[in-house]
A and B are shown apart, each in its own frame.
Chain A
Amino acid sequence: QQQVKQSPQSLIVQKGGISIINCAYENTAFDYFPWYQQFPGKGPALLIAIRPDVSEKKEGRFTISFNKSAKQFSLHIMDSQPGDSATYFCAASSRSTNSGYALNFGKGTSLLVTP
């Protein structure tokens, strides 16, 4: 059972536009929500992460918005660039399990930024 649902599956955005990827979860024990970026042939790389005590976190052009009551979080990429073309994964984990924050991943979004 997929614990984190991610949409859309694919996304095409023009250079300079805003890319938005959404994720939803059901397990209220989740308390850590990272986003990973993956280029073809590479391992996922941690992009940005948020904990539920804040509603937004911004790092450069990347922003996570978090809505605890709706159990949703999203990644916004401002001023999208062709170099941002990659697959993005949201994930969630829980401190309450003794699993070292083992991650539950969404299925990924393939982003293409056109010139």
Chain B
Amino acid sequence: DAGITQSPRYKITETGRQVTLMCHQTWSHSYMFWYRQDLGHGLRLIYYSAAADITDKGEVPDGYVVSRSKTENFPLTLESATRSQTSVYFCASAGTATYEQYFGPGTRLTVT
């Protein structure tokens, strides 16, 4: 029972490079979310998805792209990484029965 997993757990990349963070859930939850966590800001929503092929922007979407071709996967791509995108990224999922959100273990991304 893996639940929700993220990969990689740690990533160092250079400014301007493209990087993709992966998220996979085994619950068949309809909803998936990407948040970033920064000191002094708490967690902020980047993008969310209500179902396969349905995505929408959250509070801080600039510089990020998402896709959801399969219900269980929700990758987050930084098309041209900037230092301001250094953060810890959390993926979460929720079913429509309770809407309770369950979080993955996070990816710590450093952009040099």
Which residues on B sit within 8 Å (CB–CB) of A34? Answer: 100-101
Dominant secondary structure of chain A at its interface with chain B: loop
User: Is A45 interfacial (CB-CB < 8 Å)?
Assistant: yes
Shortest distance between the CB of A96 and any CB in chain B (Å): 13
User: Is A89 interfacial (CB-CB < 8 Å)?
Assistant: yes
Chain A, 34-92, CB within 8 A of any chain B CB: 34, 36, 41-46, 49, 89
Given known A42-B105, A100-B31, contact A108–B42 (CB-CB < 8 A): yes
CB of B33 within 8 A of CB of A49, answer no
User: Is B74 interfacial (CB-CB < 8 Å)?
Assistant: no
CB of B50 within 8 A of CB of A105, answer no
Which residues on B sit within 8 Å (CB–CB) of A41? Answer: 106
User: Is A98 interfacial (CB-CB < 8 Å)?
Assistant: yes
Given known A43-B103, A44-B90, A49-B100, contact A103–B56 (CB-CB < 8 A): no
Digitize B57-80: 1 where CB-to-A-CB distance is under 8 Å, 0 elsewhere.
Answer: 010000000000000000000000
CB of A106 within 8 A of CB of B42, answer yes
Size category, A interface: 20 to 34
CB of B43 within 8 A of CB of A89, answer yes
Q: 29 A-B pairs, CB-CB below 8 angstroms? A: A32-B99, A36-B103, A41-B106, A43-B103, A43-B104, A43-B105, A44-B43, A45-B103, A46-B100, A46-B101, A49-B100, A89-B42, A89-B43, A95-B99, A98-B50, A99-B50, A100-B50, A100-B94, A100-B96, A101-B31, A101-B94, A102-B33, A102-B58, A103-B33, A103-B45, A103-B101, A105-B35, A105-B42, A105-B43
